[in-house]
Amino acid sequence: MPSFLTNKRSRLITTAVAGTLVVGAVATTAAATLASHPGVALAGNADTSMMVVTQQQAAKAGDTMSPAQGLVGFDRVRFSVGEIQNQDDVAAAKAAAVKAEAAKAEAAKAAAAATAKAGAAKAAAAQQTAVRTPSGSPIQIAQQMLGQFGWSPSEFSCLYPLWEHESGWNPAAENAGSGAYGIPQSLPGSQMASAGADWQTDAATQIRWGLTYIQGRYGSPCGAWAHEQANNWY
């Protein structure tokens, strides 16, 4: 055989083999792409499938696709993979946005619950303060406070003469000799600061402190009055 024919045949064989390898790579890439994205239609999928079938038919007939044809098919598959990646990115972005909105809504819900809880606690504290701070004259305030210490109204029959004797129920009463001060004649008067900063002028603060003192030392107003009658002090 002439040498130029031998060289031409070699080039044809080389070209054919290269075309087969490129088409095989295209088919493998397309199959991998479809396997990783079931149910997703590839852009240009029909052309890619046709090219693969053509390659298979050509293989049976002993023919091959050219390298240029194989490269065109590869570009189509690469474009399809890029489209799928873009779809995945868009889906991921949407999922992240939905998750962020859900987290934001949950945080707002928690903040609203905390605010409502704080408001309820504040209202309860205000109500409790209102209950624990009766209004009226010093005598009326003392009568209303007896129940807060677990005493019956009858205890007032002892409390009234006790503080009438000590201070005349005057919040500004002060003993010039001892320095005792206020309705319960606290000695020193500053002890009543434990019941409120307004101990020098507020009758309710003085009475609350005085009843706390009586409860801790004598158990009840009648117990304190009995001691007062026996010793002229309590």
Radius of gyration of the chain (CA): 49
CA 213 vs CA 59, 71, 144, 146, 234: distances in Å: 109, 100, 17, 13, 10
CA separation (Å) from 41 to 24, 34, 46, 57, 81? 21, 8, 10, 24, 11
Q: What is the pLDDT of residues 160-212, one digit of tens each?
A: 999 999 999 999 999 999 999 999 999 999 999 999 999 999 999 999 999 99
Q: What is the pLDDT of residue 22?
A: 42
Phi-psi region of 43 (alpha: psi -120 to 50; beta: other; left: phi over 0): beta
pTM: 0.47
